[in-house]
Amino acid sequence: ISSGETFDKILKFYLIEDDEIIKIKKNLSKKVDLNKLNTRQIINFSLDQSNNKIKEFTFQISNTEKIYLKKDINNSFNQETIVLKLDKKIVYKENAILQSLYKSATEQNIPANIIIEFARIYGFQVDFQRDIRTKDKFQIMYEVFIDENKKVIETGEIKFANLKLSGQDNSLYYFNKKGSEGH
């Protein structure tokens, strides 16, 4: 989906008839707001070229969930929600800070959203411009959710973080006990 495209516009580009588009929208509208499509989101469908009718349609809702529509012999769509099963893994990384925290973290292939969250949880006690010196260190332990191909699909919480500034540890631990959530 590109910027400015609408659901109807995309399907009409493939000469799909209005009644067919209405059937698909009716099935999807229970789970998806088709007026709020995300750019770069991918929709997949296969056409029966003899009549320009859709045989199968897949709409990705999130990294872990998609709606799959398949036409039956009555020319109606059967809907199935497919949920991708992910395994949780805990990752530990550490590095010395030679130029910036961000550069040192990206050298360790730490996802950008984890780096941003790391900076956020320390934001109240550390001035990243003034407090960090060359050769200060960081340690981080965070969750990743991987698919069957060992590809990281999502990241989770930072379970442990330590920013060693001028030799002094500044450790933070994540708690999810009701009433005591956070670092």
Residue-wise pLDDT tens digits, 109-137: 999 999 999 999 998 888 877 888 888 99
- What is the pLDDT at residue 95? 95
Confidence check: pLDDT of 72 > 90:
no
Round to whole Å and give the CA distance between 19 and 109: 48
- What is the pLDDT at residue 142? 97
Residue-wise pLDDT tens digits, 26-45: 888 777 888 788 877 888 88
Residue-wise pLDDT tens digits, 90-101: 999 999 998 888
DSSP states of 39-87 as a string?
A: TT--EEEEEETTTTEEEEEEEE-SSSEEEEEEE-TTS-EEEEEEE---E
Round to whole Å and give the CA distance between 153 and 83: 13
pLDDT, mean over the chain:
88
User: With contact defined as beta carbons under 8 Å apart, do 88 and 143 qualify?
Assistant: yes
Whether the model clears a pTM of 0.95, i.e. scores above it, the answer is no
- What is the pLDDT at residue 113? 94
Q: What's the token pair of residue 59?
A: 């709409």
